[in-house]
């Protein structure tokens, strides 16, 4: 008896920058038909049509990994120029134009082990492998924290720091981040002060003002990690 094959989940696609694709094509004086022909003739992708290229540029559909690599080749750019703000391990790898084998070898992991980490969006490498990963993918510290799944824990600590006693969280944040302790103290103290200033407004006699302040406080907590990195950048 014929049994239907189990549905295989579609792998996540990189965050494609459709406007960049259109801008690069236009700068080269190419039409969608030229791009499609180049991808068919030079990269063996017979399904790529001018209509598909237009759909990519309009954000209707997103090119997969092989299509993104071929598109970058035809447009004479790196895959990273067609990727908008990569966040996951896979997105950073694709942005660098690397194959899974390249990263696995570069960080000293078995290929299957690396692929499992990438698919699960959960990095489990040791300190040496983590340092190699950051170097290979040219990750900034914020990107490294996100890729290795530490941003959730960082957010929890920061929310507690600005809503209670920031001094009690310097050490815990320092265990997550290789930052100078004095810098962390300055940053947490500033963030605590900023948040508390917003919340003091809730004591105002004006109901609307208090409601606005509470909403502003919630928004600040929702974007706490973003505020943290921007504050770090402002400090020498």
139: burial class by Cβ within 10 Å (0-12, 13-18, 19+)?
A: buried
Q: Residue 1: what pLDDT?
A: 41
Q: What is the pLDDT of residues 207-219, one digit of tens each?
A: 556 666 667 778 8
Predicted local distance difference test score (pLDDT) of residue 112? 95
**Among residues 231, 224, 91, which one has the least CA distance to residue 147?**
91
Interval 26-83: pLDDT, tens: 999 999 999 999 999 999 999 999 999 999 999 888 898 889 999 999 999 988 788 7
Are 107 and 136 a contacting pair, CB within 8 Å?
yes
Q: Which residues contact 201 (CB under 8 A, 6 or more apart)?
A: 209, 210, 212, 213, 216
Give residue 166's pLDDT: 96
- Binned at pLDDT 50, 70 and 90, residue 190 comes out as very high
Residue 12 has pLDDT above 60, yes or no: no
Q: Do 24 and 60 form a contact (C-beta atoms < 8 A)? A: no
E strand or H helix that includes residue 53: helix 50-57
- The residues that bridge with 61 in the sheet, in sequence order, are none
Q: In terms of pTM, does the model score above 0.85? A: no
pLDDT tens-digit map of 120-158: 888 899 889 998 999 999 999 999 998 888 889 999 999
**pLDDT in the model for residue 13:** 53
Give the span between the Cα atoms of 156 and 161, in whole angstroms.
9
Please list the residues that pair with 83 across neighbouring strands: 16
Task: Report the alpha-carbon distance of residue 104 to residue 230 in Å, rounded.
Answer: 32
- b/e 11-32 (16+ beta carbons within 10 angstroms → b): eebbbbbbebbbebbeeeebeb
pLDDT band at 197 (very low <50, low <70, confident <90, very high): confident
For residue range 157-188, list pLDDT tens digits in order: 999 999 999 999 999 999 989 899 999 999 99
pLDDT, one tens digit per residue, over 81-105 is 887 777 789 888 887 888 999 999 9
- C-alpha torsion sign, points 75, 76, 82, 83: positive
Q: For residues 181 and 189, what is the distance between their CA atoms, to the nearest angstrom? A: 12
Residue 113: Cβ within 10 Å count: 12
């Amino acid at each position: 008896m014929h049994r239907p094959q189990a549905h295989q989940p579609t792998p996540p696609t990189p965050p494609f920058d459709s406007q960049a694709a259109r801008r690069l094509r236009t700068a080269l004086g190419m039409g969608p038909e030229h791009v499609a022909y180049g991808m068919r003739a030079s990269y063996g992708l017979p399904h790529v049509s001018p209509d598909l290229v237009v759909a990519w540029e309009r954000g209707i559909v997103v090119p997969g990994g092989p299509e993104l690599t071929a598109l970058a080749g035809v447009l004479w750019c790196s895959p990273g120029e067609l990727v908008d703000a990569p966040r996951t391990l896979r997105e950073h790898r694709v942005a660098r134009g690397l194959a899974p084998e390249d990263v696995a070898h570069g960080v000293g992991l078995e290929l299957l082990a690396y692929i499992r980490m990438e698919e699960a969006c959960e990095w489990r490498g040791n300190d040496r492998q983590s340092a190699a990963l950051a170097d290979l993918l040219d990750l900034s510290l914020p990107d490294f924290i996100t890729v290795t799944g530490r941003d959730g824990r960082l957010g929890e600590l920061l929310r507690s720091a600005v809503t209670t006693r920031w001094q009690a969280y310097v050490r815990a944040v320092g265990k997550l981040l290789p930052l100078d302790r004095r810098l962390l103290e300055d940053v947490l103290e500033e963030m605590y002060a900023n948040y508390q200033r917003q919340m003091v407004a809730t004591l105002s006699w004006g109901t609307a003002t208090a409601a606005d302040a509470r909403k502003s406080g919630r928004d600040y907590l929702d974007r706490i990690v973003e505020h943290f990195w921007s504050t770090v950048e402002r400090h020498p």
